[in-house]
């Protein structure tokens, strides 16, 4: 089969690999129909994720058709159309019992990280019964690719951890796919203001179409001042960091209101300064989280009922044999206008 392989920092290739088989009774193999590229994949290619070693097939998102199941799989059968969760969960360990699937002792974020992932024609899914979701009849499978990772990530790590409330002011730093997913799902809770901050005017225009009440271009280094001006000097009740850079986390520190929350979503590859010398008295909270995907069933229902349309996030489409072009497009989003790219296997 064809597979996209991480070869070390800055190195990647489309290679021929053997089709994976089930290894454990609870495994399933899935024929990939559609997958996508995540910002985390770009972090891996830069060498920011040491758990992912050279030779790994990347990718942790997608929809597909069950090809084969181990004898311990009871919820799925050959031919079933399924949504692949970016998080694999046994459902039995202490962390899973607490709803922290991301810390499952035999799972968590392993696809495209510590085991081969979904940017291939086939993928092996551990703990299939609790790591796959049946696709409802008539569902738009392309749209559902967004539910593998970015929609639950933006919702759980940004909106829920940020405790977005009716009437609150929310500032989202980063108008990429994750930031826009947080924007879409923050509207479940009717905040009074959602301020989107980015360097790219094109992405800010998309954010306005998606429901942002205000947008701020941070290119001039005065984004915090602009947010304070928009909020009568208070700042944001919830500041969602959706980039993963020291500068964007620092911006959240600068614009959060007293009593507010900084909800970190971004993948950070280098250290970040925490300015407690001025924040210690501000009654703020800082949250971190790796997505658990506990909200995926709920999000599936909201998509089916057309409360949100994640297909709006898709800007480009490629065949698997053009995945190198897809990475080039996604990696240069400022010039290509890319948000999410769909790759058809």
Domains and CATH numbers, the chain: 2-149+292-344 (3.90.180.10), 152-287 (3.40.50.720)
Q: 205 pLDDT band (50/70/90 cuts)?
A: very high
Output the pTM of the full model.
Answer: 0.95
Q: What is the pLDDT of residues 113-151, one digit of tens each?
A: 999 999 999 999 999 999 999 998 889 999 999 999 999
Q: What letter does residue 199 receive in the DSSP assignment?
A: S
Tell me the pairing of strands 11-16 and 314-319.
unpaired
Q: What is the pLDDT of residues 81-107, one digit of tens each?
A: 999 999 999 999 999 999 999 999 999
pLDDT for the residue numbered 269: 82
pLDDT for the residue numbered 102: 97
What residues pair up with 29 in beta bridges, in sequence order?
Answer: 68, 124
pLDDT of 300 over the 90 cut: yes
CA 182, 150, 242, 307: dihedral to nearest 10 degrees?
-10
> DSSP labels for 76-130?
--TT-EEEEPSSB--S-SHHHHTT-GGG-TT-BS-BTTTB--SSBSEEEESSHHH
How high does pLDDT run on average in the chain? 97
Weakest-pLDDT range from 95-99, 236-240, 287-291, 308-312: 308-312
Q: 200 pLDDT band (50/70/90 cuts)?
A: very high
Q: What is the pLDDT of residues 250-291, one digit of tens each?
A: 999 999 999 999 999 998 888 999 999 999 999 999 999 999
The alpha carbons of the chain give a radius of gyration, in whole angstroms, of 20
pLDDT of 48 over the 90 cut: no
pLDDT of 165 over the 90 cut: yes
pLDDT of 208 over the 90 cut: yes
pLDDT of 242 over the 90 cut: yes
Print burial letters for 61-88: b (CB count within 10 Å at least 16), e (below 16).
Answer: bbbbebbbbbeebeebeeebbbbbbbbb
**140 phi and psi angles, rounded to 5 deg:** -80, 100
């Amino acid at each position: 089969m064809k597979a996209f392989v991480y070869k070390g920092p800055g190195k990647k290739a489309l290679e021929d690999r053997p089709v994976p088989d089930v290894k454990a009774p609870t495994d399933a193999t899935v024929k990939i129909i559609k997958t996508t590229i995540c910002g985390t994949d770009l972090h891996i290619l830069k060498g920011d994720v040491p758990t992912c070693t050279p030779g790994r097939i990347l990718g942790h998102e997608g929809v597909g058709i069950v090809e084969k199941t181990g004898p311990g799989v009871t919820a799925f059968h050959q031919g079933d159309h399924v949504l692949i969760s970016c998080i694999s969960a046994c459902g039995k360990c202490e962390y899973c019992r607490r709803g922290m699937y991301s810390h499952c002792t035999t799972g968590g974020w392993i696809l495209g990280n510590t085991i081969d992932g979904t940017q291939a024609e086939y993928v092996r899914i551990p703990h299939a019964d609790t790591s796959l979701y049946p696709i409802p009849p008539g569902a738009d499978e392309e749209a559902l690719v967004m539910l593998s990772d970015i929609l639950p990530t933006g919702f759980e790590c940004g909106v829920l951890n940020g405790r977005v409330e009716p009437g609150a002011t929310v500032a989202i730093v980063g108008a990429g796919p994750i930031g826009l997913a947080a924007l879409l799902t923050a509207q479940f809770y009717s905040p009074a203001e959602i301020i989107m901050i980015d360097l790219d005017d094109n992405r800010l225009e998309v954010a306005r179409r998606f429901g942002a009440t205000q947008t701020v271009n941070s290119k001039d280094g005065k984004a915090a001042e602009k947010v304070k001006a928009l909020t009568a000097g208070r700042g944001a009740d919830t500041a969602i960091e959706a980039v993963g850079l020291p500068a964007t986390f620092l911006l959240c520190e600068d614009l959060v209101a007293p009593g507010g929350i900084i909800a970190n979503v971004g993948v950070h590859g280098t250290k970040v300064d925490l300015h407690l010398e001025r924040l210690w008295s501000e009654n703020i909270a800082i949250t971190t989280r790796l997505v658990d995907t506990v909200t995926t069933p709920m999000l599936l229902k909201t998509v089916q009922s057309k409360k949100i349309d994640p297909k709006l996030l898709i800007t480009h489409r490629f065949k698997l044999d053009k995945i190198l072009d897809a990475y080039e497009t996604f990696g240069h989003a400022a010039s290509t206008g890319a948000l999410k790219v769909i790759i058809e296997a």
